[in-house]
Structure 1
Amino acid sequence: NTLVEDIPDIYERLQRYINQGTYQKNIPREIEKDCKIIISLSVVKKLMKKGKIKTVRRSGLTHVDRGNAILQVAEQDPLGRFGCRLTKEKLRLEGTHIPRDFVMRFNKADNAALVATRHPAQRKTHQHGIYSAGPNEEWCLDGHEKILQSMGIGVYGIVDKFSRMELSLRAAPNVRDTRLPVSVYLRTVKERNGIPLSTTSDKGTELGRLISLVQALRSEYLPDISEADVPSHSAVKSPQNITRERGWRPIWEKELSNILHFYRVGQNDAGFQPNDAFHAGLSLWVWAKVVQAKLDALLVENKYHKIRGQKKTLLPSDARRIDLYESPEEYDGMDLKTEIPEEDIDQLLAEWDDPSLFRFGDEDSIIVYEDLYRTVGSPKPLASDGWYTFHSMLNLHIRRLQAASM
């Protein structure tokens, strides 16, 4: 009772830890870190039982409930790119706990051939080792353009090398704009309250401003480390930017490719006319909203994804990415972030950041789109409903034009 008084939301907190993939044995550590209260594992177990915390073993779901939940996730995966593990993790974050074996058996019954191709024995592993001393030693960044040509939407991202945790994923109309890497980098610095020891990117003319900035920041806040000893930025060929390229692969294969599929197959039914300026502008705005919503969800999923144990890798494994990033000392690493005064970061953002880089449309058009979106009920930005949202907004716009002309 005293503990419940000290932590009024203890049951909700326990459920959140479980939903985020925290091992039960590690929950006392999380409570101590978040609430500054020491609690034993035995007390945690009693509280979980008393609070009826949902887990894989105590989900309260029938086989029918489990199957329906899996099918709901599958609706967002028409290309069949989600594996059993990813499906389980997506459901877990929503508070639905289903054993991975059940997901596999269910998917096998639905499509045995597809499940077989996803077995680890069918995939090649990278033959070269990657090493990092700890989080924020090296941020790897790059733009992704596979949906840009079809949809007009690119993605720019930053990933931490040690933890393999995505630090930023931003949708943008032009990932080759020289201002974009700087804006994404500084926004990430603001969120993390500091700079990494170094950065790595592909070679590209759009990196000039970023390279100058990171060199200046390193020189100011880490003057004892020379560029000769540890370069503040390394520009390499795309295949050598391994951490970033490996991070793009599941994002493209399992998520963005599905969005592109929904985008392509629904155009005719939605009445989309690509040569009409209003149609083109509205569809770009709607689908950019869908893409950014997915990227935001991916940042959460990525944090709590557990990297499977790998004996041959030089980087730590068998842990969640968020644990590798926030508690590196438990995995033979150390945080190499250099903190920067908040006022200095705000000054840099005021000088370098440009919100228009992430804007899909001119300001006047976006005001119209946002009003239409609110009026149709601000529907959840799902790829499966993207064209329906576009169609609803378009019809409302047409009715308004007709009313205005009467």
Structure 2
Amino acid sequence: MSSYNRNPKGKNQHKYDEVFELRLEAALRGYHCELKTSNHEISELLKADYGIDKSASTVKRRRKDLGLTGGAATMKKMAKSDVVQSVLGKIDKDPAKRMGDSVILPRKIVWEIMQEHDKDSFALREPTAKKVFRVAKYPIGIHQRWSCNGHDKMYKIGYPIWAIVDDAAGKILKAWEFQGMPIQTTTDCGSETTLLYGIVNTLRDTYHSDIDSIEVPPHVYLRSVHNISVEWQWLRLRLDFGDNCVIAFNDGVAKGYYNSQDPEQYELSQWLWPRFIQAGLDEYAAFRNSVKMRKESDKPGPSAMSCNTAFSLPEKWGGRNCLLPVDVDVIAQMKRDMSGDALIAFSTPEFAARAQIVYDSLHIQKLTEENIWHVFLAMLPVVFPQRVQSA
């Protein structure tokens, strides 16, 4: 046997790809924020979502290197005082007492800490809704049906919300990402839905006339209590985000930070608050999409998995991808004909550009309920310098 070592330093021929490693790290951190701790499931999701082929053992090793641990492992390396402070710190930032955090802790531990330090919050979470008769759904796949609806609970501070949820997976969607349409959309009978009815019928007739519109209508109107895939999101949104948002907005009014009768204050508020609310909605959607459903052995469709998993891996519950392709250039032109981004914007493009420059100059890392009115007051004299001159 030769004593010559052809590779004395033990280096293999794989080159370090910094872009790939950063992409992998971002994906693993994203799954961690979604409270995913199964290495096998993460391995499958990496393949489905990013085209990254990593074994469960490799995923386990990389998660360990990044310090991404589950609840039991977190408890072993965190001092009891740090665990308590992590929970209490989140409670202090949550006036409505309903949010969670990105640190994965056992549910029992969080419950015990809240029972000891904030027992009254449990009374705020008691469900009081009446039972509504339901029948089982038998989904055939994702994009079979999009459940759509508007949320009016934040109209009280002037900001309407609209959401689309995949009926099979229960995932909150960013519809523009898919470059297609579902087989069917559903809404309640609100007056704002008539335009959507016309659009989806036109698209189906134009691009998929082979689907029988009598047997499978492009759009169906339902009572709100039956359009449940999107309707059930509203309670959780109000409890997790909406109530706190309204409290923060009204607090600024009560303290004299904001006067809606002042045109300049109103214009700046219409730019700043939608920015804050959209960021909060994105965080809410990311969290709700990552929550694991309870296991229901007799339920048709997905169970015992998160909405993200059910959507990315429909074959795990016997589903398929039902997305119908459309010409996105035609959709873009339709949007332009309907006023484009101005249709859903709260500010004019000219004012938005001016406000963005001022906002960037403040180097704000993140808008929060605690700092948004301070940012508002800092921006106001810079966006409207004539206020300082007149004063």
Which category describes the TM-score, using the shorter chain as reference length? 0.7 to 0.9
Measured after TM superposition, the shift of residue 310 of structure 1 is 3.5
Deviations 1:287-326 (CA, angstroms, capped at 9, x unpaired):
2221111112122223222122235644422111011112
Say if 1:142 and 1:19 are closer, same or farther in 2 by CA, change over 3 A. Answer: closer
Superposition deviation, residue 118 in structure 1: 4.2
Contact 1:144–1:155 (Cα < 8 Å) also in 2: yes
1:114 aligns with one of 105, 111, 121: 121
Q: Give the match's secondary structure for 1:295.
A: helix
Structure with greater helix share of residues:
1
1:277 match = 263
1:128 and 2:134 correspond: yes
More divergent stretch after superposition (254-263 vs 56-65): 56-65
Match in the other structure for 2:386: 401
SS state at 1:264 partner: helix
| Alignment correspondent of 1:100 | 107
- What is aligned with 2:158? 152
2-structure distance, mates of 1:166, 1:35:
19
Q: TM-score, normalised by structure 1?
A: 0.80
How far the C-alpha of 1:260 sits from its partner, in A, is 0.4
Deviates more, 1:200-209 or 1:252-261: 200-209
Residue 104 of structure 1 contacts residue 115 of structure 1 at CA under 8 Å; is this kept in 2?
no
Q: CA RMSD in A?
A: 3.0
Equivalent residue for 2:362, pick from 355, 376, 379: 376
Q: For 2:260, what is the secondary structure of its paired residue?
A: coil
Partners of 1:340 and 1:402 in 2: CA distance: 50
- 1:52, 1:375 → 2: CA distance? 34
Q: Is the 8 A contact 1:263 1:386 kept in 2?
A: no
The equivalent of 1:218 in structure 2 is 204
1:392 matches 2:378 = yes
Q: 1:301 aligns with which of 287, 309, 317?
A: 287
Taking the aligned partners of 2:264 and 2:34, their CA distance within structure 1 comes to 41
Structure 2: any 5+ residue segments left out of the alignment? Answer: 1-10
Contact 2:142 2:311 in 1 (8 A): yes
Distance 1:34 1:128, change over 3 A: closer
Q: Secondary structure at the match of 2:44?
A: helix
Match of 2:32 among 18, 34, 43: 18
Residue segments in structure 1 that go unaligned for 5+ positions in a row: 169-187
| 3-state DSSP of counterpart to 1:306 | coil
Task: Give the distance between the partners of 1:223 and 1:75, measured in 2 at CA.
Answer: 55
Q: Which residue of 2 aligns with 1:141?
A: 148
In structure 2, what is the Cα distance between the partners aligned to 1:364 and 1:298? 30
**Count of aligned positions:** 373
Q: CA deviation at 1:383?
A: 2.3
- Aligned 1:220-235 pairs, distance under 5 A: 220-235=206-221
> Which residue of 1 is the match for residue 7 of structure 2?
none
Aligned to 1:180: none
CA distance 1:133–1:220, change in 2 (3 Å) = same
Structure-1 separation of matches of 2:188 and 2:145? 14
Aligned partner of residue 371 in structure 2, secondary structure: helix
Query: What is the one-letter code of the residue matched to 1:244?
Result: V
Asked whether the 8 Å contact 1:142–1:201 carries over to 2, the reply is yes
Q: 2:91 aligned with 1:77, yes or no?
A: no
Amino acid in structure 2 at the alignment position of 1:80: K
Separation (CA, whole Å) in 2 of partners of 1:156 and 1:303: 17
- Which stretch has the larger CA shift, 38-47 or 206-215? 38-47
| Residue 64 of structure 1: how far off its partner (Å) | 2.6
Paired residues of 2:45 and 2:309 also in contact (CA < 8 A):
no
Deviations 1:4-29 (A, max 9, x none): 85764556654443333332222332
**Distance across 1 between alignment mates of 2:386 and 2:15:** 58
Q: Deviations over 1:230-285 (max 9, x none)?
A: 11001222222222211222112221111001111232324322322222222232
Task: Measure the CA separation in 2 of the matches of 1:278 and 1:285.
Answer: 11
Deviations 1:133-173 (A, max 9, x none): 2211110111111111x2111001111110111114xxxxx
Following TM superposition, by how much is the alpha carbon of 1:339 offset from its aligned partner in structure 2, in angstroms?
A: 2.2
Aligned to 2:326: 340
